[in-house]
Amino acid sequence: MTEVAVQPQAERKPKVEIKRQFVSFAFYQVDPVWRRLPQSERQAHKVEFGSVIKKFVDEKRCQIITYTLMGMKAEADFLLWIISEDLEAHQELASALAATKLGAYLTRPHSFLAMTKRTMYIDRISPEHAEDRLHILPGKHKYFFVYPFVKKRDWYVLPFEERQKMMDEHIRIGNKYPSVKLNTTYSFGLDDQEFVVAFETDVAADFLDLVQELRESQGSLYTLRDTPIFTCISQTTEGMLDSLA
């Protein structure tokens, strides 16, 4: 009997699982009473509040990016963009901030919870973006625009090919504005909206033009709700807190 040499199988590399992230957008408003406190007392409150944020970041519990909305939105003064693989980190951070002296003067008029997810649609221009969406990598951009997004139920019963065609147009328009970075997160079953979309840019006018052009696309006919919209300016934690008073 002739022996047959068996070729060794190529070594298979184990598939690395990319953990999905929980993403929350916590908008806070300060009670005007707080602004009438003595300056030294307000400063102590800000230091305590900032130290809680720093503790969670230093312990790598979550990423926290801070923004001011002073002068941009009547019912919100600042935003914490919170990103973590651990949902409990979001709850524990909220509790820790509420327990501070400044926390006693804060309300949270808007809060959106979402997760990252690989898109089901094909980006024919930049296919690698599908992988990017599993992991939020915040950039160092000056402006941040956030809004919850809900599609009409009619959208979900369209044939996939029709939806892909409309998404092709959507992607084509988006690529005309390379200065605007899109972060799409998904809220199905987690919160009232279906998506939370967040745009980073250094050129606010480009974002305005992008949104206006998207309104003219076929896919916009299937938008049910995309408000409230928040315009935010990037700040350090200290700068964000100083902007309050």
Q: pLDDT tens for residues 120-168?
A: 887 765 655 544 567 888 878 999 999 999 999 999 999 999 999 999 9
- 22-115+233-242, what's its fold? Alpha-Beta Plaits (3.30.70)
CATH annotation of 129-230: 3.30.70.1030
In the prediction, which pLDDT does 93 show?
Answer: 98
In the prediction, which pLDDT does 112 show?
Answer: 98
Please tell me the pTM assigned to this model: 0.89
In the prediction, which pLDDT does 137 show?
Answer: 86
Ramachandran bin of 60, using left for φ above 0, alpha for ψ from -120 to 50, beta for the remaining angles: left
**Same fold? 22-115+233-242, 129-230:** yes
CA-based torsion, 109, 110, 113, 116: positive or negative: negative
User: Which H/E stretch holds residue 173?
Assistant: helix 160-174
In the prediction, which pLDDT does 135 show?
Answer: 82
For the chain, the structural domain boundaries read: 22-115+233-242, 129-230
**Token pair of 37 as six digits:** 């406190």
In the prediction, which pLDDT does 140 show?
Answer: 86
In the prediction, which pLDDT does 181 show?
Answer: 96
In the prediction, which pLDDT does 119 show?
Answer: 87
In the prediction, which pLDDT does 124 show?
Answer: 64
In the prediction, which pLDDT does 139 show?
Answer: 79
CA-based torsion, 15, 184, 54, 239: positive or negative: positive
Q: Helix, strand or coil for residue 242?
A: helix
In the prediction, which pLDDT does 1 show?
Answer: 43
Listed as ranges, residues in the chain with pLDDT below 50 are 1-8, 10, 130-131
